[in-house]
Amino acid sequence: MSENSPESSPRQLATDARDRVRFEEEALELSDQVYSVARRLTGSREEAEDLVQETYARAFRAWRSFEPGTNLRAWLFRILTNLNIDRGRKIQRSPDTQPLEETDYFLYNKLEEATPDGTPDERRVVERLSQNDAVSALAELPHDFRDVVLLVDLADFTYSDAAQILDIPIGTVMSRLHRGRRILKGTLAESAAEEGG
């Protein structure tokens, strides 16, 4: 066979190609999850599709910078969230100044109050919420909070993965998650009250 230098030997090239193919396939297996979060980060299906395509285009170009054996899912989501920020999402007023409901049980208490017989089955209580309202409530969340809520509650990342993906301290992840979930519940309580009458 040919006598190429070791660094560009056919064997080396073949190994390289095999690693790349494996990387691409593994990344593609995660595309449903990437799309799911992208869809909630953006206002429309078209925007979500663009964002996911951009994410994969960048990931495939940068595949050599991924360290095998580390968390590919977190690596992909980092590209996704960075690109989403680059899309120039709207600047919002500081969300830390928004007032919060004083108790985490607020939503349950409101729904229970509105139940005629009192002490309802918890599953039935949740059924009184509308999925569309939940999607709108997520869309209305201040972006910094929404990023964290989506990564932890939708994509199932740990606090520490979310911190690395968003490049923020873990304490910030925890406080944004706390506030984000509270705001989400507050918005849903309002929608339920409007609809339930």
Partner 1 sequence: MSGYAFDPCEKCEQMMQPYLDRVLSEEERVEAEHHLDTCEYCRRRYRFEAEFRRFVRLAAAEPMPPELKAKLRALRTPL
Cβ burial 81-105 (10 Å sphere, 16+ → b, else e): bebbeeeeeeeeeebeeeeeeeeee
Query: Do 195 and 130 contact (CB within 8 A), yes or no?
Result: yes
How far apart are alpha carbons 60 and 13 in whole angstroms?
Answer: 17
Q: Which of 76, 80, 163, 184 binds partner 1 (CB under 8 A)?
A: 184
Residue 161's nearest CA partner among 172, 170, 171, 149 is 170
Residue 61, both tokens? 């170009």
Nearer to partner 1, 2 or 119 (CB): 119
Nearer to partner 1, 3 or 194 (CB): 194
CB closer to partner 1 out of 39 and 78: 39
What are the C-alpha distances in Å from 121 to residues 104, 106, 117, 134? Answer: 19, 17, 11, 20
- Residues 172 and 152: their CA atoms lie apart, in Å, by 13
189, two tokens: 């309580």
In angstroms, give the least distance from the CB of 191 to partner 1. 12
Q: How far is the CB of 29 from partner 1 (least distance, A)?
A: 11
> Interaction with partner 1 in 55-94: which residues (CB under 8 A)?
56-57, 60
Q: Which is nearer to partner 1, 13 or 85 (CB)?
A: 13
Q: Report the site for partner 1 in 23-52 (rule: CB under 8 A).
A: 24, 28, 31-32, 35-36, 39-40, 45, 49, 52
The footprint of partner 1 (CB under 8 A) covers 17, 20-21, 24, 28, 31-32, 35-36, 39-40, 45, 49, 52-53, 56-57, 60, 103-105, 107-108, 119, 122-123, 125-126, 129, 131-132, 134-135, 138, 150, 152-154, 159, 177-178, 181, 184-185
